[in-house]
Structure 1
Amino acid sequence: MQPKVMQSLRFALQPAVQDVSVTWDLPKGVSATVLSPPITSIFQGQRSLIYAQLTGQSSEAADGCVTVKYSLAGRPSQSQLHFSLTPKEDTG
């Protein structure tokens, strides 16, 4: 029990990532359903995974973008990830 208490104390004494929001920029006809529970905070040394299911089809350029906005030590920040929705050709 002592290691758990010490870990909780370490987390309480350091800044945490808070106010996490995820925004999807997808082509028309494609939608994202987030499968992960909402993230409330992340502490140093922890990680959090966000799972989403993309559905639909698009005749446009098959690129998407996900933006994660958050606050660390009171400063707003954001990270973006651009990705392709076109499957890679099987190279054998």
Structure 2
Amino acid sequence: MNIFEINQAALEAMVKPLVEKIVRMLVPKIVEQRYVNTKNAAKYLGVSFPTFKKWVAEKEISPVVIGGAVRWDKQDFDKEIEREKKQ
């Protein structure tokens, strides 16, 4: 065996712990980014706060309450935007 050759098991033993560590670090950030507070929801949509309030009332989009904190699911906005595009 060549000194520079690494068998699959040895490579997996080196890489797997690193991948698992990266996944543990990134998954919470991905979840956090999906739910945003009202200020960041308006920012995400690129509108002012009054416009945001009017828009969600018209579209009947409700926030998610997590431990008493009001959060907006960006996927709800994305779905509504897609519906608007199709009309």
The TM-score, its normalising length taken from structure 1, stands at: 0.24
**Which is greater in Rg?**
2
Which structure is higher in helix share?
2
The TM-score, its normalising length taken from structure 2, stands at: 0.24
The structure with higher relative contact order (CA 8 Å, sep 6+) is 1
